[in-house]
Structure 1
Amino acid sequence: MSTSPSPAPPARPEFRFRMRITVGDAIAIGPGKVQLLEAILETGSLTAAAKRIDMSYRRAWVLVNELNTALKAPAVESGKGGGNGGGSILTPVGLQVIEHYRAIEARAAAACAAEIRSLTALFGPDKG
């Protein structure tokens, strides 16, 4: 007697902000770059940060370069590679980018909490 697996419960709706600041056609800062900055802060390495967030080293390097170019002062400083690797650190500007970005997200989510609840309540399995 074979039993078929029971269907997985439907995923709960999840609200996520996708705030970006653009400079010309380039995305100067957005959720991916902030996530990368946070991973660099945690790991002290661009290579390790890229691995942590499942991103290629080349893509991470490009994103950091774009961000550093767009800002008045760099967000990330990297040492030269070598036997022990060079490491990467966030500058005070990099720390401020994370702090401001996450604060804006939190304030926006709090200000829109009722609307977010109402919108996400429209999603789900109830087909009435």
Structure 2
Amino acid sequence: MRAVKSRVWIEEDGQVFLGYGRVELLKNIEKTQSISAAAKAMNMSYKKAWSLINSMNTLSDTPLVITNTGGKSGGGTVLTAYGKSMIAEFEKLNTACETFLDEKYEDLKEA
């Protein structure tokens, strides 16, 4: 069965702000509350994960992720309410794009 596929991302000032991989990273951070564990779940280096998080936070007026350094109670990473809303917004946009492309492909097949 043939299908149309595409990749969607959001840019800020010509730089990638949010895309499929970054959203997956954010979801894993929410699940694990750890950059290291989130990166490991994606077979990604910690350095790469940190770079992506730093990029998203820098491009945004509001942080998507907040890190807490270690100490007596240990460190951890928290996805902010804004980070959660950006996941939802991206997924809504991605679904709308997939639906649009599927409909257009069906129209072309019928023509």
Identity of aligned residues (%): 32
Deviations 1:55-88 (A, max 9, x none): 0000000100000011110000111035764111
Q: Deviations over 1:22-44 (max 9, x none)?
A: 23342111111111101101111
Aligned equivalent of 2:63: 74
Q: Does 1:30 align with 2:40?
A: no
| Alignment size in residue pairs | 109
2:98 to 89, 109, 122: 109
1:17 and 1:105 in contact (8 A); partners too = no
Pairs within 5 Å for 1:11-90: 15-82=4-71, 85-90=74-79
Say which one has the larger Rg: 1
Structure 2 CA distance for aligned equivalents of residues 56 and 22 of structure 1: 23
Distance in 2 of aligned mates of 1:53 and 1:73: 25
Residues 46 and 57 of structure 1 are in contact (CA less than 8 Å); yes or no, is this contact kept in structure 2?
A: yes
> 1:24–1:51: structure 2 CA closer, same or farther, 3 Å change rule?
same
User: Tell me, what secondary structure is at the counterpart of 2:11?
Assistant: strand
Unmatched 5+ stretches in structure 1:
1-11, 122-128
Q: Which has the larger share of helix?
A: 2
Aligned partners of 2:44 and 2:82: how far apart in 1? 23
Q: Under a length normalisation based on structure 2, what TM-score does the superposition of the two structures give? A: 0.83
Which protein is richer in strand relative to its size?
2
Q: Secondary structure at the match of 2:61?
A: coil
Unmatched 5+ residue regions in structure 2? none
Asked whether the 8 Å contact 2:65–2:80 carries over to 1, the reply is yes
Q: CA deviation at 1:101?
A: 0.2
